[in-house]
Structures are given as C-alpha cells and as structure tokens.
Chains A and B, each alone.
Chain A
C-alpha cells in the first residue's frame, strides 16, 4: 500500500461513521441545489463506509483489535472506538445492507417523496451512521447519543408513510424514548458507581470491586431499556405497526438493522462491560430471559398466523427472530451465543431479502394482502425466486444460512437443557413453514380473477387453456429493484456455505474464554 493509503487506513474506525455522515449532509445540501445530486452523494457515503468496514474486517481477521482515540485523548478521559472481529463483521453487514437497500429503493423514494427526497437520503444516511457508531463505540454515553441520532432519523423515516404511519411513529417514539432513557439511567448508575464511561475501564473497575447492588440495578436498567429498543416480547408493541405502515424503502432497512444492532449492544454490554458472573452465575436472570424469549417465540408466531397481509405477517416474524437471538444468547453456553451472534448477521440478510421481495410485489401490485398475491410466480418469477430462498432461510432449511444459525441455537438449547426453548424453536420453524407455504401456494396455484377472465377471453383457442393455468404476462419489478434482490438471495446461500469460516474467524474470538 502506498503511504497515503496507509495513513488513511488507520482512520477507518472513525471514517466508517464520519464518511457517511458528512456525505449525507452533503447530499442534503447538494439536493437543495439540484435533486439529482443527492443520490450519488448518499451512495458514495455508504460506499466509503462499506470500504472502511471491509478494511477493518480484514485487519481484525488477522487478530488485530482496532482502537481509535477520538481527539487523541486516551480512555477513560476521552472517547474511544474499539472494534474487534465481531463488531467488524456487524459493521460490514450494516453498511452492505444499507447500501443495497439504498440502490433498491431509489426509485420508490424519488417517487414517494419527490422534492423531499434529498432529506430522505440525508436521514437515511444519518440513521445508518448512527447505527455504525453504536457498534463501534466503546463509550457508554457516546453510545446513547448515537442511539438517539439513529432513533430520531428512524422516527422521521417511519412517520412519512401513509395514513396510520405518523401515529405508529409517535408510539414508536414514546416507546423508544422510554427505552433510551432507561439505558441512560443505567449509564448514570454505572457512572455513579465507577466514575468512568469507558467500557474496558469500567470492566476492570468492576472486576476489582466485586458484587455491588448499584451495578446490579444499572444492569437491570440497561437491559430493560435495550429490550424495549429491540422489541423483545412483552414490549414489542411498537414494532408491527411502525414497520407495516412505514414506506417500503424505510421498512426494509429498519427491519433488517434496528433490532439487530440493539441485540448487538446487549451482547456487547454483557460480555465486555458487566462482569459475566453477574449475568450468568445466579442463573435466575438468564433463565428468566430464556423463558421470556420462549414465550415471545410462541406469541409472535401465533400472531403472525393471524395476519391477513404479507408485510404485517413479516413484522411479527421479526419479533420472533428477536426472541431467537435473545434466548440463544442468554442460554449462556458457547453454542447458544455463537448461534445468537451468527443469527444477527444472517437475520439482517434474510430480513432485508424478504422485505425487499415484498417491496417489489407492492410496487407492482400496489397491495400485499394474501388475496393480492395470486399468480405471482408467473408474473414476477425472479422476485418470487428470491422470496422462496429467503423464506427457506427464515424457516431454516439447508443450504440457506438460516439453517446453520438455528442449528447452533438448537444445539445450545439442548446443551443447556432448556427444552422449552428448543421446542419453541422447532415449532416456530413449523409455523414459519406453514406461513410461507401458504403464500407460495396462493402465488403459484391461484390465478387473479380479473386477469383469468381477460386471458381466457383473449386466448380462447390458445393451447395453454387446457392446462388449467393460463399464462400471465410477465410483469417483473424494475431492474434497479430486482438486481439488488437477486444479489441478496445469492448472499443468503453464500452465507450458508461460509458459516464455518465466519464462526471460526469472527465469532469465536469475540466470545470470552470463560464461556464454555
């Protein structure tokens, strides 16, 4: 590498947040002059973020842990970023997901928001850079600030949907702020007990201090806040409405990233801030969380069964997936944690894929109630192909990636003897299978009534008529939406084949040695 690149490459931990952020602002400013410039700016911002993330991924894979001191002050006095293998992996996933969705939803964003599209790009990029900062930062207060920047942008992005969206966004705002404030209260307790805000520093202090009721309370407050943020079962109420009524372009990225990053924060706090003994030694907290997740899986899956529209059904599946990861992590053994961490990555990919497929259907059909899906395999074969792959991944069928993380989760459950959780996982797979095959059946065998009538009139002597299934004209989504979707579908398969490498290189080193 030439010296200038060397020089620049040390800064990738900060550039992953700042490059998208600055270019996001530039997108808004340029968009004010000419709307056409906003998209390239936003694209460039996320692309540079992705390059920085991949760079860090390669570096950390060689066993390096990247630490960056903001303003040159050493922690605990200044703010530091600390990126290990797992955070680099999540950062790459965030940037890749955001970039792919940006390309895919350009058309619908420009159409829906017209002259306000630059503001949409800016908020979108702020949202993504906020999430990236949350993953990278080692400072618990900086994390709160970044959490708020991501959340505020999210409220605005969701609130721009049709009719019911502002109300759903307001509910999300109230719930999200409760969550963030609980987290901040936890930060206050940690600060009062230790005097520090840096995760590594606090971990050292807590190690020396031993059990402390203030820290137990801080732990409870932080976890409560994060559970509300990640829409875990009893506090999931905001999620289905917010994601259903948001514009498709927003839902895709939000469903794929928001909840996952909150889960990542939970994992990071438990593994590298609070003493492990606090979380797992008594077994009460961990057991309670696993049972909560078990109930959450059943509740979410049954609610998904009751839905009449495809997008809304998927939002409940997001709730179920959150419960997988929460439960898997709190099993407390290596297999369970590996499964939860791997599932963060896989779930981000498959959620994006399935929501993008639905967005394509909605863009063509204008609706997504199950009765509107008839004949889709003929009119939109590629989108439906991607939908089938992502459906299989969500159900957990090899060789898609969903199978492998679920395998880890189930073996973790068996190892820990949590049979309730294992049964919940298996039955959720069955329910997911029912849900998706219902969709596939409608889309494959049933024929839209009006089109059927038209076709049979037009092709009365056509040889297709005696097959029972008339041929429908192909009406695929536009190419800019289709290609990202196909890339994502192939990614789902690729991630499945790469599971071993990902676990060995990136996930295993991030789990502390005490966890067996």
Chain B
C-alpha cells in the first residue's frame, strides 16, 4: 500500500510539476487571474460600498452568498459534533468524587459511600476526576487577559471595514477566550458563563442574522442579499446601506463562529459528556 501510494503520488505530482511550466510567473501583474475579474473589484469596491477594505467588500457583498454558506458549514460542523458525540449518560468515574472547597481552594476526595455535599452548595463544587491542580498564577493571568482579548475581538470586528479583520477573525478570537477560560479553570467554569444551549442558539442566531438579512432584501423586492434595498431602513444612501449591511452580516458571522468554536470544544474535550473537561 505504501509503495503504491508513493508511486501514485510521485506520478501525479510529476505530472503537475511538469504542467506548472505553463502557469503564469509568480507575481505577474498581467496574469489572467489579476486582469479579468479582480480589477473590477479593486476599482469599484469603494465606490459601491464606501468601504476601503476590498477583501471585506468582496467577502460580504459581491460574494456574500458564499460567505453565508461558509457560516453555514461551520454551523453544520457544530451540529455534526453535537450529533455524533453528545450523550447524557455519565461515564464510569470510579467510586469516588472530587470536590473543591471554594473559599480555601482545597481539594477534597470523597470515597465511595461517603456523604456528598449538596448539589447546589455554594461552598463545595464538584470537579473533574482528572482535575488539574489549582494554580492561582495561571487563573489570574487568564482572568486578566480574557477581557482584553474580548475587547480586541470586538475591535477586529468593528474595524474590519478599514483594516485586516472581520467577522471570522473576531469570532475565532472571541471563541478562544471562552476556550481559554475552560483550559485555565475547567469546563464547568466555562459552561457556567456560556451553556451549551446558549452556544447552540447563538450559532443558529448568527447564521440567521446573515441569512435573514438576505431574506429581508428578498421580501423587500430585490435579489437575495442585495443590500441596496435596505437603504431606507438604515437611513442612508445605497452605498452606505451596503457598508452598514456588511457590518450587520459580519456580526452574524462573529456570533456563529464564536459559538460553534466553543460548542465543538465542549463536545470534543469532554467526549460529549460535558462533565470532565481537559
């Protein structure tokens, strides 16, 4: 099998390498890719949408339909992970349980048959069997970092019209903060801030904001996702309506990406049990 794979890859790779001879030179401004469609975007993007970042314009306006399905692919992946892994059945944990005494940070092991603290106790909190030691340095550092990261992600989202950035990047940074919380503390802490149901609903709402904007355009009598028609609603002229709509759909994308990243992490890290995090 290995030899066959090697021969196959070498043969096909050789064919492609020989063919690379016919491709245009690297960085050639006169290549077809740079002369057919793309000059139109570069020349007209600002005029059409009053947004200097051409990538954001092409992403959320000229090819917004692709981008909507990109968010949909993420949503589908979130559903796929949930569907495949999630189970409410508790895994085997052995006879004993671990609790943390919150005021002191002391970890307590309760042997099988021992008396367990109340389920909603404010003083004792059940922790993972594979618990990580309580580390104030890591936890404090992350607690300080997370707000700044979240504000930064909002900046990336809001400033996407003028600088590299936009919905996906912002969503990933925002999702990473919640995952960072789960890694530095534990899964339960994260789940308390953002439950699985919230993550799922946010991801659906995020995609729905994008698709719903398109549907609104359709209901107002224009093509799907043609933001021009939203101008009266957004109290602006057509170019600015496009600019604002780009922001609206980017907010939807941010929500969807962030929520799905968190959702996938919840399911993958705990193998669907959502009791034991990493």
Contact = CB atoms under 8 A, between A and B. Distances in A.
Interface of A: 7, 11, 14, 18, 21-22, 25, 28-29, 32, 68-73, 76-79, 113, 115-116, 119-120, 122-123, 126, 133, 139, 141-142, 145-146, 148-149, 152-153, 155-156, 159-160, 166, 189, 191-197, 205, 212-214, 217
Interface stretch (B65-73, B140-148, B158-166): B65-73
Contacts of B200: 28, 32
B227 A71 contact: yes
Contact of A142 (B69, B201, B208): B69
Given A141-B66, A146-B69, 6 more contacts: A69-B223, A71-B227, A116-B83, A123-B76, A192-B32, A196-B37
Contacts of B232: none
B38 interface: yes
A77 B83 contact: no
A195 B36 contact: yes
A191 B224 CA distance: 25
Contacts of B32: 192-195
Contacts of B204: 25, 28-29
A71 B223 contact: yes
- Tell me the dominant secondary structure on chain B's binding face: helix
A122 B201 contact: no
A365 B24 CA distance: 62
B79 interface: yes
B92 interface: no
B62 interface: yes
B64 A70 contact: yes
A25 B197 contact: no
Task: Assign chain B's interface to a size class.
Answer: 35 or more
A370 B211 CA distance: 48
B257 to A, nearest CB: 15
Interface stretch (B111-119, B121-129, B184-192, B214-222): B214-222
B37 A149 contact: no
Contacts of A22: 208, 211-212, 215
B274 interface: no
- Tell me the dominant secondary structure on chain A's binding face: helix
A145 B66 contact: yes
A246 B74 CA distance: 23
B77 interface: yes
A304 to B, nearest CB: 25
Contacts of B63: 78-79
Nearest to A217: B19
A14 B79 contact: no
A166 B76 contact: no
A424 B81 CA distance: 43
Nearest to A212: B22
Contacts of B16: 217
B223 A123 contact: no
